[in-house]
Chain A
């Protein structure tokens, strides 16, 4: 018995921080369920992206109007009913999946690249560089984010690429602050000093030595950021400034359906549930990751 206890203790010590985080994450049932939902969403999104490329209309065509079928309540033929042009709501919701996921991931990708660059430079060099960059971050944080995004998109002209880039350009400040804080403490560590004393260039120290150790909080922010970006895209599409018709997106299905709220509840309810489930899954996965990375052992 003591033998195995010692063995466990040793394996616990020898595992890397990433392995430990993974082990803790897998113990959290809520987070694992949420991750399962996300995997499912990815499969759905991938499948329908392929179907779109292959030009297969299944279960129905998402974009082709069928005016004889308009505003049908949910039935065996149209499981989630049809909209005001007779398009199948289920097909439109399913085809909206990859739009939401793509916007979420690409926008967060943009914001993370900028955030890491600014945060790393700011935290590593310090001094006036840090001061200047952080004041810019403060200034951007003062803007009401959604309103700023809306303004820029409205002036640029709505398209899915503009939505992705603008969300990314506006939402990097949180990542920059996190990375900067990590860099501030990491740059004083002995191994960084040693690297500097060995005459390594700053760029190499930043990317090779410090950055890998500063990434843990970024993973969490990234997952939460995807949820935020999906929500923002839905809001923009709802206002008519996001994904343009006839391409379906969860936000613009709701926008089309709002005229009929008292007659055709299915137009409103189902895409909303899709947004809700997706963002909730991202939030719960992110929360699980945060706990897995942050919590001290035994606490």
Chain B
């Protein structure tokens, strides 16, 4: 176990180094000016440009630029090209919101995805199984930005709840409860949109691992003992088939962070995705490099966590 963790940690370090290299060179080598103003802007004199270059080390050769960015990132001194606020603080204030949004989305995914998967396995091969499969693929095929707008129209016209931003703008809340309720409403819709694809993927996972478990020897033994089919199904097979669900958490992280770019922008939700989108529009290189790096750290941590959880849930798994 310890040896496994050390090895995984070392491999993760190598991967992270590659991530930082790739993200830095992709961003700096793509053609296009690194300045937040247009090339023909008459208000920008040569002197201003020089000062800007010097400030953000843009006059240095590439390998030195990479070194400066990495050094500043790890010492926490990296500042945004745009407003000169520390990058880590800028990202740090968005992380809780992104994690909260993704956590709610995961809960929705788990509750509906597992149920749908069990249903499919239970009625395997029948029209019910087929229709759950088609439903699942329909969920994956729904474009997130499109369904966001449809839900916006629906909620605004028929349910009349606030949607955009973190809380309703300009409302004084009587007490904490109304404030919390307001926050919850704003969280629910983007989380639902974010979860739709995941529900489908999850249900496919659960279904196939249920079917695998149902073919195992201990299930045959349980049936041979004369246990009722429901008991065999829910007590014996289901418990064992929930293992891959655990891996799913780590697996779904990168997609969630990436997929949130559009959805966070639509709902005006202040998460990492929207920060990234703004940084792309403003050509804020330090924020982009740091954001990709932190996303990669989260993904690697998620993968490691799901491996460890896998071993915790199933004692037969040995981490070597």
Partner of B14, one of A135, A147, A254, A261: A135
Beta-carbon contacts of A261-273 to B below 8 Å, as 1s and 0s? 1100100110010
Which chain A residue has the least Cβ–Cβ distance from B281?
A154
Please judge, given known A-B contacts A142-B295, A151-B288, whether A231 and B254 are in contact too, CB under 8 Å.
no
Beta-carbon contacts of B215-241 to A below 8 Å, as 1s and 0s? 000000000000000000000000000
Q: Which residues of A contact B296 (CB under 8 A)?
A: 139, 142-143
* A144 lies within 8 A of B255 (CB): yes
Partner of A155, one of B18, B30, B153: B30
Partner of A144, one of B142, B143, B254: B254
Which chain A residue has the least Cβ–Cβ distance from B257?
A144
Q: In whole angstroms, what is the CA distance A136 to B11 when docked?
A: 11
Please judge, given known A-B contacts A154-B280, A280-B138, whether A143 and B143 are in contact too, CB under 8 Å.
no
Chain A interface: which size bin? 35 or more
Q: In whole angstroms, what is the CA distance A188 to B109 when docked?
A: 41
Q: Does B214 contact A (CB under 8 A)?
A: no
Which chain A residue has the least Cβ–Cβ distance from B130?
A30
* B18 lies within 8 A of A254 (CB): no
Q: Does B4 contact A (CB under 8 A)?
A: no
* Interface 9-mer from A107-115, A201-209, A233-241: A233-241
Q: Does B65 contact A (CB under 8 A)?
A: no
Please judge, given known A-B contacts A154-B281, A268-B150, whether A280 and B22 are in contact too, CB under 8 Å.
no
Give chain A nearest CB distance to B86 CB in angstroms. 21
Q: Does B152 contact A (CB under 8 A)?
A: yes
Q: Does B309 contact A (CB under 8 A)?
A: no
Interface size on B, residues (CB 8 A): 53
> Which residues of A from 115 to 155 have beta carbons under 8 Å from B?
135-136, 138-148, 150-152, 154-155
Q: In whole angstroms, what is the CA distance A265 to B262 when docked?
A: 20
Q: In whole angstroms, what is the CA distance A159 to B180 when docked?
A: 44
Q: In whole angstroms, what is the CA distance A262 to B14 when docked?
A: 50
Of the listed residues B22, B32, B143, B153, the one surrounded by the most CB atoms of chain A closer than 10 A to its CB is B143
Dominant secondary structure at the A interface: helix
Q: Does B23 contact A (CB under 8 A)?
A: yes
Give chain A nearest CB distance to B115 CB in angstroms. 20
Q: Does A227 contact B (CB under 8 A)?
A: yes
Q: Which residues of A contact B16 (CB under 8 A)?
A: 139, 142
Q: Which residues of A contact B299 (CB under 8 A)?
A: 141-142
Please judge, given known A-B contacts A144-B295, A238-B262, whether A254 and B145 are in contact too, CB under 8 Å.
yes
* A287 lies within 8 A of B257 (CB): no
Q: Which residues of B contact A141 (CB under 8 A)?
A: 254, 299
* A280 lies within 8 A of B137 (CB): yes
> Which residues of A from 153 to 193 have beta carbons under 8 Å from B?
154-157
Q: Does B76 contact A (CB under 8 A)?
A: no
Q: Does B283 contact A (CB under 8 A)?
A: yes
Q: In whole angstroms, what is the CA distance A147 to B281 when docked?
A: 12
The 21 listed contacts between A and B (C-beta, < 8 Å) are: A135-B15, A136-B18, A139-B15, A139-B296, A140-B22, A143-B19, A143-B22, A144-B295, A148-B26, A148-B292, A150-B261, A150-B280, A155-B31, A156-B31, A156-B32, A157-B31, A231-B141, A262-B156, A268-B149, A280-B138, A283-B140
**A residues at B contact (CB < 8 Å):** 30, 135-136, 138-148, 150-152, 154-157, 227, 231, 234-235, 238-239, 254, 258, 261-262, 265, 268-269, 272, 275-276, 279-280, 283-284, 287
Beyond A143-B292, A147-B295, A151-B276, 14 additional pairs, beta carbon < 8 A: A135-B11, A142-B295, A143-B254, A145-B254, A145-B255, A147-B261, A148-B26, A150-B280, A155-B32, A157-B32, A262-B156, A275-B146, A283-B140, A287-B133
**B residues at A contact (CB < 8 Å):** 11, 14-16, 18-19, 22-23, 26-27, 30-32, 130, 133-134, 137-138, 140-147, 149-150, 152-153, 156-157, 254-255, 257-259, 261-262, 265, 273, 276-277, 280-281, 283, 288, 291-292, 295-296, 299-300
Closest 5 CB pairs of A and B: A144-B258, A139-B18, A272-B146, A142-B296, A280-B141
